[in-house]
Structures are given as structure tokens and as C-alpha cells.
Amino acid sequence: MPVDFKDYSRRMEGALNHLNDEFGAVRAGRANAKVLDRITVEYYGSETPLNGVATISSPDARTLVIAPWDSKLLKDICKAIQISDLGINPQNDGKVVRLVFPQLTEERRKELTKQVKKYAEEAKVAMRNIRRDGMDYVKKLKKASEITEDDQKKAEKDLQDLLDKYIKRVDEATAAKEKELMAI
């Protein structure tokens, strides 16, 4: 009886998608609304994502404009951006908040590259944990005599192959993000 790994594959895909979301939030010198995805503002007593209370646009390659639907939120939006790890000072003109992305320094590029590597390692650890869950499941099936030893060995090899495939995809995504960060 072959062991079904769809759930483990789906979970690894989820870890990869999460990594890509994390990478999207790392700014690479260009204005990208994804860097604001993690920022929340208190709105009517609950923490609301910034894109849920404002329109975010990019008039040029280095600027983001945040136009809140309720002008009372301008100060809260500025404060939320200042306490985030973006490293950008928001400019409030009374109607909109402007974020001007400066050219990245070599030092900042290296810091961001380290952050990208940290995110990649976290994704790999999550995937290894998913593989471990799969290995435990296979051992439990073997212990309950639901599969043979040969099936167990094949299932463990299949799980390892699945992990290797996803680790390779993480490495490719990491290399692409590092290249984007180091490009001037």
C-alpha cells in the first residue's frame, strides 16, 4: 500500500508561499506596496491591515502614496510605519502619506541579504519539520503492520525526495532575491 504524501506536499508548498510573502516584504530599493503588508493600524478598536483602511499607489519607482479612506487615520498610519522595521520616514501632507524609498546603501543591502537568508533558513526548518511528521506517520504505519518494511523504506525515500525538491526551490527563490537586492 503506497503512502499518500499530498498533505505533506501541500504543507511544504504553504511554507514556500509564506517564504515568498516574506521576500515580498523585503524592500529592494524600489517602491513595492507589498512592504506594507505586515503593517496594521488600529481602526475602530481592532488592528486592521493598512491596505484595509487606505488606497496604496505607486506614482513612480521610488514612491508609495497611502491615501486613507478616513483622514483621522493619517497620524496612526505614520506612527505604524515609523515603528515598523521599514526604515523609512513617512511624510504626511494632511491628505496622504508619502513614502520615498531612498537608494539602498551597500551596508543596508548586506543587512537585507542576511534577513533574506534568515527567512530562507526558517522555511527550510519548517519543511524539515513537515518531513519529520511524515517520517513519524510512516513509522506508525509500519508499527501497526499496515505497510511492509519495503514500503516504509520507499515512503521515507519519497519524503526525502519531496523535501529535496522544495529545498531546491527555496534556494532558487533566495538566490533570485539576493540578486535583486545586490543589483544597483
- As a CATH number, domain 30-100 is 3.30.1360.40
111 pLDDT above the threshold of 80: yes
CB 123 within 8 A of CB 170: yes
161 pLDDT above the threshold of 90: yes
Order of strands, edge to edge, in the sheet holding 97-100? 54-60, 63-68, 97-100, 91-92
Q: Give per-residue pLDDT as tens, 22-42.
A: 887 776 666 777 777 788 888
CB 42 within 8 A of CB 79: no
C-alpha distance from residue 11 to each of 8, 96, 154, 164 (Å): 5, 40, 20, 14
Identify any residues that bridge with 47 across adjacent strands, giving them in sequence order. Answer: 42
Q: Give per-residue pLDDT as tens, 40-56.
A: 888 888 888 888 888 88
**Residue 83 binned pLDDT confidence (cut-offs 50, 70, 90):** confident
What is residue 78's predicted lDDT score, i.e. its pLDDT? 86
Of 94 and 117, the structure prediction assigns the larger pLDDT to 117
Of 125 and 51, the structure prediction assigns the larger pLDDT to 125
Give residue limits of the domains in the chain: 6-23+105-182, 30-100
What is residue 29's predicted lDDT score, i.e. its pLDDT? 62
What is residue 2's predicted lDDT score, i.e. its pLDDT? 60
At the top level of CATH, which class does the domain 6-23+105-182 belong to?
Answer: mainly alpha
Q: Give per-residue pLDDT as tens, 131-157.
A: 999 999 999 988 988 888 898 899 999
Global confidence as pTM: 0.70
Residue 136's nearest CA partner among 152, 114, 118 is: 152
Cell 522555511, located at residue: 123
